[in-house]
Structure 1
Amino acid sequence: MTTPTQALSDAGVSIWLDDLSRARLTDGSLKALIEEKNVVGVTTNPTIFHLAITKGHGYDATLASLAAEGADVERAVFELTTADVADACDLFAPVAEATGGVDGRVSIEVDPRLAWDTAATIAEAKKLHAKVAKSNVHIKIPATVEGLEAISETLASGISVNVTLIFSLERYRQVINAFMTGLEKAKANGHDLSQIHSVASFFVSRVDTEIDKRLEKIGTDEAKALKGKAGLANARLAYQVYEEEFSSERFKLLADAGARPQRPLWASTGVKDPSLPDTLYVTGLVAPDVVNTMPEKTLEATFDHGEVTGDTVTGTYAEANAHLDALAGLGVDYNDVVAVLESEGLDKFVASWNELLADTEGALASAKTADAKGA
């Protein structure tokens, strides 16, 4: 009997887990998800690392060792996060080999405090890539205006990139342009384009959260009838952009040189409104050559009762445009929505990173105290 996650894979959706921790690597649970639930990649972000490192005791020994070496908190966080990602890359290496590097990818994000600093982002991306030192790592770079050039220059160095925090269709087109610019530079720099991979992480559920809040405030029956639909509409139109841009003459020239398309990745696919189906942003976004990165709760729901009926994206563009037009007709400003979401998304990641630094600093101090007492 075909499971829903197998049906998703058969429909062209790569399932990645939006989570990583030392415990997942050591207790076999991540390996089990690969073997049993079709997981073929992992994404991380500052919030995920904060939860992983501050929960339980999986990092105590490494923290004690780093404390003994006199490591500061920045180095400690760098060492802890890159070690987990490197080990996950090893776990997914057979998947990467079997798929020519398309899947089996593990993503690690640049310090989110650098999101508005192009040069610092490029330097950090290269530093992370060199430290992890695995061919199947993805370096995550936020799709800020300042991040666009960083995306191009990182790709130009032959480094695979996961572009994150994309909310708007206009910014997505700019991301694709940055991707192609990067590959054109990489080709000029003598890199093998077939070895450079990229995904563009288009966020879904947060769009509904913000727009539904505005519709609730409007309060009319017409407004309430539009709730819970914008996230899918926006993502489906992003896939239309993907189809258009990657059938262009510009990309054909790159493809002839070995380049692979930058795949759309559906992120923020956990449903935040309990009145919506818990697999909405999975079964409603099935299309060839996409990635869906899921928190474990969403993955388990999909495996348990997801109804995969084939492609639910292509052919929906007129309806999706009509939905966005209806929102505009009620005074919901799309450009303001996506600007708010980008700002909030970055603020959340920076806050998580700062909390991670503070908690790790406390753990280092405790380890040093324990070491001193033991001595």
Structure 2
Amino acid sequence: MTNPLQTLSAEGVAVWLDDLSRDRLRSGDLHRLITERSLVGVTSNPTIFDKALKESDAYDDQLRDLARREVSVDEAVRSITGYDIRWAADVLRPTYESTGRIDGRVSLEVDPRLARETERTVAEALHLWWLVDRPNVFIKIPATAEGLPAITQALAQGVSVNVTLIFSLDRYRAVMDAFMAGLEKARENGHDISRIQSVASFFVSRVDAEVDKRLEKIGTDEADALKGRAAIANARLAYETYEEAFSSERWKTLAAAGAAPQRPLWASTGVKDPSYDDTRYVTQLVAPGTVNTMPEATLEATADHADITGDTVRGNYPQAREDLEAIKKLGIDYDDVTSTLEDEGVDKFAKSWEGLLARVSEQLGRQS
């Protein structure tokens, strides 16, 4: 029987996992998810790696070697994460080949402490691209104001990029502009732009968490009725924005040269509010040419009981605008919500990176 993940894939949604560990790789579990759960991609972040190191002894041999070499903690983190990313990329290489280089991707994040520093972000992105040395890797760069030119510069040098931490429609437009500018420069630089890919990670559940908190403070029946509406409305309008950008004459010129569009990726798709249906950020965001990267719990919930009913995005633009307008009329400032979420996201990612560094430093100390 066709399961919901297979149906989701048939609707044009690429199923990715927001998790990675050496245990998952060593046990063959990643390969199992590819064959049994329609998985075609993986994303990672510092919190994921910190958890993997905390819960497993699979890293001990490498940690021992790194300690003997007396490498810096920063270099140890690059070596450890690069090893896992390279391994995952190899597991997903057949998917990469069978999908015409579209999927079979694994994402590795630039040090998030550099989110406000353009040139250092570019340098780190290029180093990670060289370090992993796999064509099916994405280097994650945040969509901060300083990250936008870094995205363009990395793409211009042939690096495939996962743009992360997108919350607002205006910033998403700027991301797509940075993507096209990067491809234009890559073409000028002599790169085969058909081999450069990108996704734009539009964050979902965090929008509901922030807006719902503000609606609760208002406390009226009208406010209560709008809880859980903002994130899906925002993401649906992001898809409308994507359709507009990738039907432009500018894009048609790039497509004629072999470029593939930058796909919208729904990130942060695990529900934050336990009263919400655990697959809502999957079932309500079905549209062709998208990616949904899920925590394992959301992936399994989708496989178990999600009701995939076809495209749930493109026929709902008017309702999405109506929902966001109703929230605005209650005095909730959309721009303040999205800027708050970006600032918090940058801060959380940086703290996660510091936690990962502390974990590796402590474990290196135990090996010496």
TM-score (normalised: structure 2) = 0.99
SS in 2 for 1:170: helix
2:74 pairs with 1:81: no
> Is the partner of 2:164 in helix, strand or coil?
strand
Q: Deviations over 1:185-207 (max 9, x none)?
A: 00100111110000000000000
Which amino acid in 1 is paired with 2:283? Answer: T
Establish whether residue 271 from structure 1 lines up as the match of residue 271 from structure 2: yes
1:114 alignment partner in structure 2: 114
* 2:175 equivalent in structure 1: 175
Which has the larger displacement, 107-116 or 43-52? 43-52
The one-letter code sitting in structure 1 at the alignment partner of 2:220 is T
2:15 aligns to what?
Answer: 15
Task: Please give the secondary structure, in 2, of the residue aligned with 1:145.
Answer: coil
Tell me if 1:212 matches 2:226.
no
Give the superposition deviation at 1:130. 0.2
Pairwise mapping of residues 240-251 of structure 1 onto structure 2 (< 5 A)?
240-251=240-251
Consecutive unaligned residues in structure 2, runs of 5 or more = none
Q: What's the counterpart of residue 35 of structure 1?
A: 35
Counterpart position of 1:135: 135
Name the residue aligned to 2:312. Answer: 312
- Segment drifting more, 57-66 vs 145-154: 57-66
Q: Give the AA of the match of 1:290.
A: T
State the distance in 2 between where 1:363 and 1:50 align. Answer: 11
1:245 is aligned with what amino acid?
A
Whole-angstrom distance in 2 between the partners of 1:130 and 1:16: 24
Give the distance between the partners of 1:185 and 1:324, measured in 2 at CA. Answer: 36
SS of match in other structure, 1:293 = strand
1:223-262 counterparts in 2 under 5 A? 223-262=223-262
Q: 1:282-310 deviations in whole A, cap 9, x for unaligned?
A: 00000000000000000000000010000
1:49 positional shift: 1.3
Task: State the alpha-carbon separation in 2 of the partners of residues 339 and 251 from structure 1.
Answer: 28
Superposition pairs of residues 182-197 of structure 1, within 5 angstroms: 182-197=182-197
Shift of 1:55: 1.9
Instruction: Tell me, in whole angstroms, the C-alpha distance in 2 between the residues paired with 1:356 and 1:274.
Output: 28
- Greater mean alpha carbon deviation, residues 54-63 or residues 115-124: 54-63
Counterparts of 1:113 and 1:138, CA distance in 2: 19
Q: Distance in 2 between matches of 1:81 and 1:72?
A: 14
Counterparts of 1:197-208 in structure 2, within 5 Å, are: 197-208=197-208
Q: Which residue of 1 aligns with 2:327?
A: 327
**Helix, strand or coil at the partner of 2:287:** coil
Report how far residue 122 of structure 1 moved.
Answer: 0.3
Deviations 1:13-52 (A, max 9, x none): 0000000010010011111000000000000111111111
Matches of 1:299 and 1:358 in 2, distance apart? Answer: 30
Query: How far apart, in 2, do the equivalents of 1:248 and 1:71 lie?
Result: 49
1:166 corresponding residue in structure 2: 166
Aligned residue identity for 1:363: Q
Deviations 1:224-272 (A, max 9, x none): 0000111100000000000000000000000000001000000000011
- Residue equivalent to 1:347: 347
User: How many residues align structurally?
Assistant: 368
Worse overlay, 237-246 or 54-63: 54-63
- The Cα RMSD (Å) is 0.5
**Which whole-Å CA distance do the structure 1 matches of 2:346 and 2:47 have between them?**
11
Per-residue deviation at 1:54? 2.1
Per-residue deviation, residues 81-131 of structure 1 (Å, max 9, x unmatched)? 000000000000000000111000000000000000000000000000000
CA offset at residue 56 of structure 1? Answer: 2.0
